[in-house]
A and B are shown apart, each in its own frame.
Chain A
Amino acid sequence: MSDTVSLLRRLSPQLIALGVILFLIWLVFPAFFTVTFQNGRAYGSLIDVLNRGAPVALLAIGMTVVIATKGIDLSVGAVMAICGAVAASASVSGQPIAVTLALAIGIGVLCGLWNGILVAFLNIQPIIATLILMVAGRGIAQLITEGAILTFDDPALAFVGSGALFGLPFPVVTWIVVALLVTIVLRWSALGMLIEAVGINRRASMLAGINAPVLLIAVYVLSGACASIAGIAIAADIRGADANNAGLWLELDAILAVVVGGTSLLGGRFSIVGSLLGAMIIQAINTGILLSGFPPQFNLIIKAAIVVVILIIQSPEAKTLLTFLKLPRWASLGASKGAEQ
């Protein structure tokens, strides 16, 4: 019971931010919350936010756990491109859907393994280690698609990107299921605590007997797997693998989602729910700007401004200020401030 309360308190800045943003969108676009059902599937702007935000949400799940270990994974965008290309080319060469998915996810796992080994055994700084695959990965994807956009026509694979399950777009179902699975595994086993320990103090954790190298590899593998699922979803959505543009810059959105979600880049305590809220905040901003009819050239600036405000609200300094202002003597403080001015 107290755990639920503390979780809500922990997530309150994200929930409030999301609420305010949704409210603002509703002001300029009253039809925002309207959801209609057609052919057993929900349609509407809100559903659109959940659906369009799926790739970043999936990436953010893996990224959260990587960042909890004081690491970072810059390669996820490139891994999306690789895995999308693998899925497309497997489908074109006539593989059944199960083999296609297994191949693509397997390649994502391999990419994560590579990152993990560089970080855990060769002790390369995560930002450099994953930068290698970020650069090389897009090249590998281009080799697989031979430079062109590799299109396929397998309805089963297309369903992964644009189908519907339980009335929701399939990508939405995917990220919710992956998030639930990862959360359950991390929190019902001891993995979550061990990962946080490694992120806070790797040396002390090793002295306490934690197998830090294996844990580090595991989190990068998870990140690679999440990226591969996101890559498949994107390729499936457009029925083709675009090695140049699939997942481009999404690693930055994923990192942003984690940070907006309140997990510190310094490692330690993490919250997957927070990161998912962060991903939805980012997507709500994107969709909101489009719907509100602002000239599109303003989009990036407005997005940046909103993110800055959210981060300021979350910052320890702002929290100190807030508790300070809540003190009963805030009136006299205000008076003295006025005198200074």
Chain B
Amino acid sequence: MDDNGILLAKDIVKVFPGSRALDGVNFSLRRGEVHALLGENGAGKSTLIKCLTGAYRRDGGSVILDGETIDPKNPLGAQALGIGTVYQEVNLLPNLSVAENLYLGRQPRRFGLIQAGRMKRDARDLLGKYGLDIDVSASLESYSVAVQQVVAIARAVDLSGKVLILDEPTASLDAREVEMLFDVVRNLKAQGLGIIFITHFIEQVYALSDRITVLRNGRLVATRDAETLPRKELVTLMLGHELQEISKSTRPKAEQFSQPRYRFKNYGKPGVIKPFDLAIRAGEVVGVAGLLGSGRTETAELLFGIRTPDSGSKALIDGSEVALTSPRTAIVRRFGFCPEDRKVDGIIGDLSIRENIVIALQARRGWWKPVSRSEQNAIADKYIKALDIRTTDREKPIRLLSGGNQQKAILARWLATNPEFLILDEPTRGIDVGAHGEIIRLIETLCAQGMSLLVISSELDELVTYSTRVLVLRDRQHVAELTDDEITTAHIVNAIAAREVKQVA
């Protein structure tokens, strides 16, 4: 540990039943440094933070703060030792005043009574240091999220004062607010605090950080100086790709397709995703790549009518204009959508596998035309066999199935509706290797049968294998479209990492 080090984590191990969430991770933080912690979902960022703050008890390794080994039992203990945390969702009490939030649990008292006047004065002074001049007796919720973040930071720094952990603080802020927050962070850095910064926005990483640590699958990938780490290399580190040139020669060329079946013109929604144009032909697989938070899922939700696009946006299906205002209207047009979070958005836990498979078909037919029980059984059995859903029988509640089998059942739900356009959001996430391959094969078969697919995936290999075109998203806009020979993992990584070029209108 160098002289300037304030926090050192060595060989941290955290084991959850069935998985090793952290596997011998080393992490060091210096005084007066902003250290970005990066990695895709499930990489172990949050687990590492929780081990540092005592929210989880680590199963191995040591944490050294200011030269002393610490073992906080809970976040409060860590706070007392000097490690403060500010989360994306501000964890203060919105209906209390700003001053009360700052001094909650440690209000200045005299004879056991709270000195409201002194508390307000102190609060004003404290926030003054952050360049914030607000009415501290107003309730916290009357201020913007950015101000709430600063209040949370002020409280955390005032309580702990050595290390500040910022867990995605900018996720719901606009550009001006981000700048204001960054000024606050730079100020604290100048005061000698060590700051750990977690975010998904690459631009912000470079704007603020001195060093960058990348985690992947619970392992430390690299710790590098921000200045000497090119963007492209950072994205490669995060996505874990060795930049092998994989591309499939059998993939059909984009131009051999006929007219587009689906055209989305100027499709967008303010604050969700910038307007984009998208045309999809029959028998085509359009891959969507981008980091988390880049607008991938939002694109899918817009296309499926879960979010209604801006009034200027239009969808053309087979040449006729259609307003996709709800999933129902999309389903009538033979759309299907397998959501990313299948536990929340996909499965209907207590219903049987059979019911989960037939439910979309039933919903489209209408309640007065029930799919007969024998028909239901036939459909369920057909897809249980075709997709190799591992279950003892079709009447088992779907929540008892493993993740991969649930995913296959959701796929079966849409295949049973005989869709013409299928949107798959991370179809292979959290699925074992066997099922993984089966789902990729299924995507290729469906496409060969003339179905149009839009597949969102973090697995670039996968996208390269089956996509006829790849859309690349960054910072909630479509930034590139790769076709034919351009579809390689290297190109995709380049497009994701490319520095934003100001477009001249």
Chain A contact-residue range equals 20 to 34
| Interface residues in B, total, Cβ within 8 A | 30
> CB-CB < 8 A to A207: which residues of B?
304, 306, 327, 337, 339, 345-346
Cα-based distance from A210 to B367 in the complex (angstroms): 9
> CB-CB < 8 A to B61: which residues of A?
none
Minimal Cβ-Cβ distance residue in A for B347: A204
> CB-CB < 8 A to A204: which residues of B?
344-348
* In the complex, A211 has a CB within 8 A of chain B: yes
A50 to B: closest C-beta gap in Å: 32
Minimal Cβ-Cβ distance residue in B for A266: B350
A283 to B: closest C-beta gap in Å: 30
* In the complex, B109 has a CB within 8 A of chain A: no
Residues of A191-205 at the interface with B, using a CB-CB cut-off of 8 Å, are 191, 193-194, 196-197, 200-201, 203-205
* In the complex, A239 has a CB within 8 A of chain B: no
Cα-based distance from A188 to B368 in the complex (angstroms): 9
B493 to A: closest C-beta gap in Å: 32
Residues of B156-170 at the interface with A, using a CB-CB cut-off of 8 Å, are none
* Cross-chain contact B351 with A188 (CB below 8 angstroms): no
* Cross-chain contact B362 with A193 (CB below 8 angstroms): yes
* In the complex, B45 has a CB within 8 A of chain A: no
> CB-CB < 8 A to A209: which residues of B?
327-328, 331, 360, 363-364
A70 to B: closest C-beta gap in Å: 12
Minimal Cβ-Cβ distance residue in B for A203: B345
> CB-CB < 8 A to A206: which residues of B?
326-327
**Mask of A168-208 contacts with B, CB within 8 angstroms, 1/0:** 00000000000000000000111101101100110111111
* In the complex, B370 has a CB within 8 A of chain A: yes
A211 to B: closest C-beta gap in Å: 6
**Mask of B347-369 contacts with A, CB within 8 angstroms, 1/0:** 11111000100011011111111
Minimal Cβ-Cβ distance residue in B for A187: B370
* Cross-chain contact A210 with B359 (CB below 8 angstroms): yes
A194 to B: closest C-beta gap in Å: 6
* Cross-chain contact A189 with B346 (CB below 8 angstroms): no
Cα-based distance from A193 to B505 in the complex (angstroms): 53
Which residues in B have some Cβ–Cβ distance to A below 8 Å? Answer: 304, 306, 326-328, 331, 337, 339, 344-351, 355, 359-360, 362-371, 413
A–B pairs, 25, beta carbons within 8 Å: A189-B370, A190-B365, A190-B368, A190-B371, A193-B359, A193-B362, A194-B362, A196-B351, A197-B351, A197-B359, A200-B348, A201-B349, A204-B344, A205-B363, A206-B327, A207-B304, A207-B346, A208-B413, A209-B327, A209-B360, A209-B363, A209-B364, A211-B363, A268-B350, A268-B351
For the complex of A and B, list the 10 residue pairs with the smallest distance between their C-beta atoms, beginning with the closest: A209-B363, A209-B331, A190-B370, A208-B360, A210-B363, A190-B367, A268-B350, A201-B348, A191-B367, A190-B362
